[in-house]
């Protein structure tokens, strides 16, 4: 297998990747999940893949003798056949948010980041809107703090009252075993609204881990930032290519109420009455 030899040594597993009538043998590291596989598809078939369309990845099942949807949390362990299937019609439910199936993740909004992160004051302001909306709508909030012994606690402006979980971490991703256990305790949790810092590090790695576990991820663009606007903007672009939804705080809050007649609409309306700061999103990189 030429592609496998090109990678040199290491524990590579042969895979056959098919798209639009074409098939090509390749190899990926053992343990590779959805993110690595989608990047491999893009590297092989990138010129033919319309990144603005939705795709479904499928695995050939020897048991059933046909392709099946990629199982949740799938990782490559043995030689296998995979294909990427473009969806012929839009799935209108994709991207919709409901309070009953949504969890908010607030990532590393800590004091020591204040002088370093671009537009940190704006990110705090928008993050506080989201936390307030979560309390009004009864949405669980999970909060991480990166090495709080050295980087401090969450900034005082962020009111964490009612948060389901506040935990320290050293790993960049928020998806730790204790977080997965907490998510498993939330019935029907399907969508994660993610915000905080830094976009290209902890936010990006958290988002990729979540979609690899079958969650739909919404990153709030006006509530996440980095030390560098270049890192921030290129990370958001990369994440959008993997099927993650890049959105805004007002869009999220209004999606969650969905109807002017929602009993909490007035309270949410009061939060967004003044437009959120644009946090540099309209500036040149």
Compute the distance between CA of residue 171 and CA of residue 283 in angstroms, rounded to an integer: 31
- Residue tagged active-site, from 107, 169, 209, 222: 169
- Residue tagged active-site, from 118, 122, 202, 231: 202
Q: Is 202 a catalytic residue?
A: yes
**Which residues contact residue 26 at a Cβ distance below 8 angstroms, ignoring those fewer than 6 apart?**
1, 3, 4, 14, 15, 16, 17, 40, 44
Q: Evaluate whether 74 touches 59 at the Cβ level (below 8 Å).
A: yes
Q: Is 78 a catalytic residue?
A: no
**At how many degrees (to 10) do helices 265-272 and 249-257 cross?**
170
Compute the distance between CA of residue 157 and CA of residue 130 in angstroms, rounded to an integer: 13
Q: Is 222 a catalytic residue?
A: no
Query: Tokens 């909060």 identify what position?
Result: 143
- Residue tagged active-site, from 40, 108, 209, 222: 108
Query: Tokens 């099927």 identify what position?
Result: 243
* Structure-block tokens of residue 282: 């309209």
Which residues are marked as active site? 108, 169, 202
């Amino acid at each position: 297998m030429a592609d496998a030899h090109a990678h040199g040594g290491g524990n590579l597993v042969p895979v056959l990747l098919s798209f639009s009538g074409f098939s090509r043998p390749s190899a990926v590291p053992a343990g590779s999940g959805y993110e690595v596989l989608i990047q491999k598809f893009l590297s092989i078939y990138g010129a033919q893949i319309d990144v603005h369309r939705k795709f479904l990845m499928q695995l050939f099942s020897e048991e059933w003798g046909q392709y099946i949807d990629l199982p949740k949390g799938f990782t490559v362990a043995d030689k296998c056949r995979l294909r990427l299937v473009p969806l012929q019609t839009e799935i209108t439910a994709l991207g919709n948010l409901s309070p009953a199936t949504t969890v908010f993740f607030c990532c590393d909004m800590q004091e020591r980041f204040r002088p370093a992160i671009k537009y940190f004051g704006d990110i705090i302001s928008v993050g506080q809107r989201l936390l307030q909306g979560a309390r009004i709508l009864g949405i669980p909030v999970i909060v991480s703090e990166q090495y709080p012994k050295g980087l401090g606690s969450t900034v005082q402006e962020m009111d964490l009252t009612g948060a389901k979980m506040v935990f320290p971490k050293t790993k960049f991703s928020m998806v730790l075993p204790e977080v997965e256990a907490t998510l498993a305790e939330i019935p029907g949790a399907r969508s994660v609204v993610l915000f905080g810092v830094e976009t290209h590090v902890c936010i990006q790695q958290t988002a990729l881990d979540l979609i690899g576990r079958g969650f739909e991820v919404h990153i709030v663009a006006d509530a996440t930032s980095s030390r560098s606007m270049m890192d921030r903007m290129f990370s958001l672009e990369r994440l959008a290519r993997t099927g993650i939804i890049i959105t805004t705080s007002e869009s999220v809050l209004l999606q969650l109420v969905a109807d002017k007649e929602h009993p909490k609409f007035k309270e949410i309306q009061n939060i967004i009455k003044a437009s959120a700061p644009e946090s540099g999103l309209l500036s040149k990189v």
